[in-house]
Structure 1
C-alpha cells in the first residue's frame, strides 16, 4: 500500500548514507513516486505532502545528530 515514510525512517537513511558520504556533501530530495504535473493522480495529494514533510523533518533530525557528533569530535 502507498504510504508516507516517517521522519524517523528518513533520518535513519540519511544517517546510514553519512557512513559513506561526508555529511557536508549529503542532500535529500523528493522521490515520492509522484509527478510534479497537476494531472498526475497516481499518488493522493495528502500522501505526497506527508512524504515531503517526512523528508524535511527526517533530514533536520539527521542533521542535528550529525552536527552533534561532529562537535563531540572536535
Structure 2
C-alpha cells in the first residue's frame, strides 16, 4: 500500500474491513519499523521487520510450545 491509500478487505460475506495506511516510521536500530494505520477508522500500530535493512541486533524467535 502507499501512504494515504485505503483498501477494503472482505473477511466474510457482509463483513468488510477498511484499512488505511497512515504512516511508516524511520528504521529502528533492530531493523524494524512501526507502521501506523486505521482499521475501520480506529488508529492502530504494528511493529514489522524490514528485511531491506541490515541490523546488528540478533533476532531470536520465540520457542513455540507444544
Greater fraction of residues in strand: 2
Greater fraction of residues in helix: 1
Interval containing the TM-score (normalised by the shorter chain):
under 0.3
Q: TM-score if structure 2 supplies the norm length?
A: 0.23
Q: Relative contact order: is structure 1 or structure 2 higher (C-alpha 8 Å, sep ≥ 6)?
A: 1
